[in-house]
Amino acid sequence: MSIVVQKFGGTSVASADRIRRAAERAVAAKRDGHQVVMVVSARGKKTDELVRLAAEITDSPGPREMDMLLATGEQESAALMAMAVHELGEQAVSLTGAQIGVLTDESHTRARIVRISTERMKEALDSGQIVIAAGFQGVDSRFNITTLGRGGSDTTAAALAAVLRAERCDIYTDVEGVFTTDPRVVPSARRVERISCDEMLELASMGAGVMHSRSIEFARKYGVPLRVGPSYKDGPGTLITPEPADPAPVVTGVAFVRHEARVGLTDVPDRPGVMSHLFGKLSEAKIAVDMVIQDVGRGDSASVSFTVPESDLAGAEQAARDVAAELGRGQVESYNNLSKVSIVGHGMQTHTGVAAQMFRILADCGINIEMVTTSEIKVSVLIDRQACDDAVRAVHDGFALHEARPVVPSVGMAAGIPAARRSPPADEEIVERLSGMEDIVVSDVAADLDQARVTVTGLPDDPGTAAAVFGAIADGGVLVDMIIQNAGADGRAGISVTVPENDADRTVQLLKAALPDAGTAVSCEPNVGKLTVSGIGLRSHTDVGARVFRILADRQINVQLVNTSEIKVSILVTPEEAEIGCQALREEFHLTG
Ligand code: ASP
Ligand code: MG
């Protein structure tokens, strides 16, 4: 019999009435002939209330006790839900994470799942019961209660769907689905019919993220079809699939992180090991770094800039200070009041000028860009927080995301029509080799030796600079790969791009013609190698960056430039180093062939 997982978020179980309605959905699916597992969050704002209550008692609640406390919210919902199902005449059993056997590591408040036993759930399902699982929680090997991080019930749902080989996982929430951007900022934002896991991952940790990003990692890794949609009515929701739509939109959505902060570590020695050192420290502090930029070295000095959520700023600053102290050299600066705005879409892989268009739109609004990073399907800019909403609106309008697009046929979520077929696991072999379910899947490491780097320095740190640079390159028809822009300590900006080797001279000419300003300089390194590490959860697994840079440092490889996104880390080195590094990294992450 097919298994269906239904997850209900906090608002969908906030009152007795809503609990009853959620129970009705589960009962309907059961009577349709499915075995049903419900995953529930804490009611309404319960978790927030508990956090506040703890704060009234102490400034620094111990993480173990915090987990004991927060896990009660989900336990309450699960018990009430079981009663509601009983009232409807079906059998149900509520289970805590511990009772199911959701085994996690010991990192309280941000635990990762190691294993899930299916025995008890299967037994209950086979005896005709609806299983109601408390989301967000597990136990470590010593039976301490752990939680998976805020919003973690989505991850519980996707993980249970994966281990139970569920036919689908429906996430019922208080929104209609995934939107082109946050409708509170742009009222004309539209529901996206279908989005790929990669696009979702690039969006997920941001403001537009409807779901916990680790749940998407599970979905992609284990091929669980996800559908996210409203619990308060019958709506089609958004289907989240491993493959992109074909043809894929150039831009699927605009995401933003309002509260970003930036740390700069300048004037460190330009030699192997520095990045490794920094990333090791950040990883120890379990700080997920967002944008990372290492500037092109000047003389024997290099500088690194990275962004973190504002709440991690103090820890990140400390890590950078420790590195400077241990190196005996380097200055640390930090900047607050920043936001990150990103465009995401598979179509930009094959279209030139998408970044240029974004920069032009921002320039026309007088918005200054402080940092730029890219992946194949994403361009992110760091800007002043005051300009965040304006930037999101302008970019959404500029790419006409409010307009209806050709859509894939929608599938009724509540109507019981089967959702998209389960797609095969990302790579069963890799998955099998994982010791813990949430271990990083580095799906590929590749070296591209046919790239050149072109760098412009001494640019005015003003609105329109990036637009001018990329307008010129796009007009010349050159497909830019990596884009890295950083505001220097000297108040001037630097932009580096990688382009195909054959286009290097032309790119230099285009830039020299477009930038007559005497203060700017264009330089070109015709032979560079680009190492790309791709995978799911590179950002949430804080140790992956550390491992990558340690491997390179061990091989005495000097990192010239770094660029990151949710699903990719790109590193510029020499072509020889790219080959050596690629092999070493493939060994490290057990990639064959
Ligand atoms: N109740 C938890 C939270 O509010 C987990 C969840 O809702 O997914 O973060
Ligand atoms: Mg939630």
- Among left, alpha and beta (phi > 0; psi -120 to 50; other), residue 587 is alpha
Assess whether the C-beta atom of 147 lies below 6 angstroms from ligand 1: no
pLDDT at 484 over 90: no
Angle at 551 between CA 546 and CA 555, to 5 degrees: 145
The structural domains of the chain, with segments of one domain joined by +, span 3-174, 255-402+442-588
Q: Which ligand is nearest to the CA of 137?
A: 1
Task: State residue 443's pLDDT score.
Answer: 82
Ligand 1 centroid – CA 37 distance (Å)? 18
Task: State residue 480's pLDDT score.
Answer: 84
User: Do residues 484 and 499 lie in contact, with contact meaning Cβ atoms separated by under 8 Å?
Assistant: no
Task: State residue 208's pLDDT score.
Answer: 46
User: Do residues 80 and 15 lie in contact, with contact meaning Cβ atoms separated by under 8 Å?
Assistant: no
42 CA: nearest ligand 1 atom: 1
pLDDT at 495 over 50: yes
Given strand 194-196, what is the order of strands in its sheet? 92-95, 130-134, 35-40, 3-8, 168-173, 226-230, 238-241, 194-196
Q: DSSP strand E in 105-147: where?
A: 113-116, 130-134, 137-139, 145-147
Task: Give the model confidence (pLDDT) of 364-378 as tens digits.
Answer: 999 999 888 888 889
Task: State residue 431's pLDDT score.
Answer: 47
Q: Where are the alpha helices (DSSP H) in 399-438?
A: 428-433
Task: Give the model confidence (pLDDT) of 433-452 as tens digits.
Answer: 444 666 666 888 999 998 99
Residue to mutate, 50, 153, 228, 231, ligand 1, most ligand atoms under 8 Å from C-beta? 153
Q: Decide if 3-174 and 255-402+442-588 have a common fold.
A: no
User: Do residues 63 and 108 lie in contact, with contact meaning Cβ atoms separated by under 8 Å?
Assistant: yes
The residue written with tokens 């990688």 in the block is 498
Task: State residue 417's pLDDT score.
Answer: 31
Query: pTM score, two decimals?
Result: 0.80
Which sign does the torsion angle of CA 101, 106, 108, 112 carry?
negative
Q: What is the CATH number of domain 3-174?
A: 3.40.1160.10
Q: For the chain, what is the mean pLDDT?
A: 87
Q: Whose CA is nearest to atom 5 of ligand 1?
A: 151
Residue to mutate, 70, 96, 147, 214, ligand 1, most ligand atoms under 8 Å from C-beta? 70
Assess whether the C-beta atom of 73 lies below 6 angstroms from ligand 1: yes
Confidence of residue 342 (pLDDT cuts 50, 70, 90): very high
Mean pLDDT value across residues 121-146 = 98
Q: Hey, which of 140-144, 190-194, 431-435, 527-531 has the most confident mean pLDDT?
A: 140-144
What are the Cα distances from residue 273, in Å, to 156, 267, 575?
Answer: 38, 15, 19
Q: Phi/psi of residue 77, each to 5°? A: -60, -40
Q: Residue 55 burial (CB < 10 Å; 0-12/13-18/19+)? A: exposed
Assess whether the C-beta atom of 113 lies below 6 angstroms from ligand 1: no
Mean pLDDT value across residues 318-326 = 95
149 CA: nearest ligand 1 atom: 9
Residue to mutate, 12, 13, 41, ligand 1, most ligand atoms under 8 Å from C-beta? 41
The residue written with tokens 């699960």 in the block is 78
Ligand 1 centroid – CA 68 distance (Å)? 14
Ligand 2 centroid – CA 455 distance (Å)? 43
What residues contact 154, with CB distance under 8 A and at least 6 apart?
7, 9, 135, 171, 211, 212, 214, 215
Instruction: State how far the Cα of 372 lies from the Cα of 360, in Å rounded to an integer.
Output: 14
User: Do residues 419 and 412 lie in contact, with contact meaning Cβ atoms separated by under 8 Å?
Assistant: no
Hey, how many other C-beta atoms are within 10 angstroms of the C-beta on 16? Answer: 12
pLDDT at 420 over 60: no
Q: Which ligand is nearest to the CA of 40?
A: 1
pLDDT at 39 over 50: yes
Torsion of CA 307, 308, 313, 315, to 10 degrees: -110
Task: Give the model confidence (pLDDT) of 349-367 as tens digits.
Answer: 777 788 889 999 999 999 9
Confidence of residue 17 (pLDDT cuts 50, 70, 90): very high
pLDDT at 323 over 90: yes
Q: Whose CA is nearest to atom 1 of ligand 1?
A: 42
pLDDT at 527 over 80: yes
User: Do residues 323 and 331 lie in contact, with contact meaning Cβ atoms separated by under 8 Å?
Assistant: no
74 CA: nearest ligand 1 atom: 1
Q: Whose CA is nearest to atom 8 of ligand 1?
A: 151
Ligand 1 centroid – CA 403 distance (Å)? 33
3 state DSSP class of 573: strand
3 state DSSP class of 581: helix
Instruction: State how far the Cα of 551 lies from the Cα of 549, in Å rounded to an integer.
Output: 5
Assess whether the C-beta atom of 152 lies below 6 angstroms from ligand 1: yes
Assess whether the C-beta atom of 41 lies below 6 angstroms from ligand 1: yes
Task: Give the model confidence (pLDDT) of 379-405 as tens digits.
Answer: 999 999 999 999 999 999 999 999 876
CATH of 255-402+442-588, one of 3.30.43.10, 3.40.640.10, 3.30.2130.10, 3.40.50.300: 3.30.2130.10
Instruction: Tell me 242's DSSP state.
Output: S
Element spanning 428, H or E: helix 428-433
Q: Which ligand is nearest to the CA of 71?
A: 1
Instruction: Tell me 390's DSSP state.
Output: H
Task: State residue 218's pLDDT score.
Answer: 81
73 CA: nearest ligand 1 atom: 1
Ligand 2 centroid – CA 212 distance (Å)? 7
3 state DSSP class of 70: helix
pLDDT at 140 over 90: yes
Q: Which ligand is nearest to the CA of 210?
A: 2
Assess whether the C-beta atom of 45 lies below 6 angstroms from ligand 1: no
Assess whether the C-beta atom of 97 lies below 6 angstroms from ligand 1: no
Q: Whose CA is nearest to atom 9 of ligand 1?
A: 150
How much of the chain exceeds pLDDT 70, in percent? 91
User: Do residues 467 and 356 lie in contact, with contact meaning Cβ atoms separated by under 8 Å?
Assistant: yes
The residue written with tokens 């760091």 in the block is 382
Task: Give the model confidence (pLDDT) of 212-247 as tens digits.
Answer: 878 888 888 888 889 999 999 999 999 998 778 778
Task: State residue 80's pLDDT score.
Answer: 98
Residue to mutate, 7, 47, 110, 228, ligand 1, most ligand atoms under 8 Å from C-beta? 47
Token pair for 113: 């799942």
Assess whether the C-beta atom of 276 lies below 6 angstroms from ligand 1: no
How much of the chain exceeds pLDDT 90, in percent? 57
Given strand 292-294, what is the order of strands in its sheet? 292-294, 301-309, 253-269, 331-344, 378-384, 371-375, 483-487, 492-500, 441-460, 521-536, 568-573, 561-565
Mean pLDDT value across residues 545-567 = 87
Residue bearing the bigger pLDDT, 583 or 559: 583
Ligand 1 centroid – CA 560 distance (Å)? 40
Instruction: State how far the Cα of 330 lies from the Cα of 294, in Å rounded to an integer.
Output: 14
Task: State residue 414's pLDDT score.
Answer: 35
Ligand 1 centroid – CA 47 distance (Å)? 6
Ligand 1 centroid – CA 70 distance (Å)? 9
Confidence of residue 410 (pLDDT cuts 50, 70, 90): very low
